[in-house]
Copies of this chain bind each other. A is one copy, B any other.
């Protein structure tokens, strides 16, 4: 993956986007994670933001050190991450987010999130980080940036009151920011971040 721009700036991608009907979007068989990773690489190469996916945490039990070759991990286990998958910096703002998709058509199931991720997002909000979820409705081919503050409120309501276990699409349409997929970056989530910053949504403000 390398994008080269003579002046360090991205090419105008609007015209290019028009060459590729948006209805083709998602048909390449890439997961949301892969598309976010490509988008992060684009933002990094164009000096727009520095965001990386965190590696999957692994508990290493046994490592072999063969002569004249690299170490081989022979026994290890997946560990539960204690944070969200993505974080980084954009124009001085700390970004922290999770990317999740659903095949549902009318709501986004809360089971996509874990208690430790909700807690982590709360902690980051307290420190004035910009926290959100990139949500994809796979079947509908629709993408949203949804503020962590709204997710946290719904999560706690669901836990305490044994309430609804998913977020209605209408709620996400109302409180989130819909992204229009494009060619470069595939998932322009920073437009949603600009919206979060401008509207102060999802931020902890005194």
Interface set of A (CB-CB < 8 Å, partner B): 44, 47, 49-50, 52, 54-58, 60, 70-78, 81-83, 87-94, 96, 120, 123-124, 126-129
Give the complex CA separation of A81 and B70 in angstroms: 16
A56 contact set on B, CB distance < 8 A = 55, 58
Nearest CB on B from A191, distance (A): 17
Give the complex CA separation of A78 and B72 in angstroms: 8
Our pick among B70, B74, B82, B128 for the contact of A89 (Cβ within 8 Å) is B128
CB-based contact B71/A74 at 8 Å: no
CB-based contact A127/B73 at 8 Å: no
CB-based contact B83/A94 at 8 Å: no
CB-based contact B78/A73 at 8 Å: yes
Give the complex CA separation of A126 and B46 in angstroms: 12
Q: Which residue of B lies closest to A59 (CB)?
A: B73
CB-based contact A77/B83 at 8 Å: no
A70 contact set on B, CB distance < 8 A = 77-78
Nearest CB on B from A98, distance (A): 15
CB-based contact A123/B50 at 8 Å: yes
A76 contact set on B, CB distance < 8 A = 58, 72-73, 76
Q: Which residue of B lies closest to A131 (CB)?
A: B89
Nearest CB on B from A74, distance (A): 7
Give the complex CA separation of A47 and B122 in angstroms: 11
Our pick among B55, B73, B77 for the contact of A54 (Cβ within 8 Å) is B55
CB-based contact A75/B78 at 8 Å: no
Give the complex CA separation of A127 and B57 in angstroms: 27
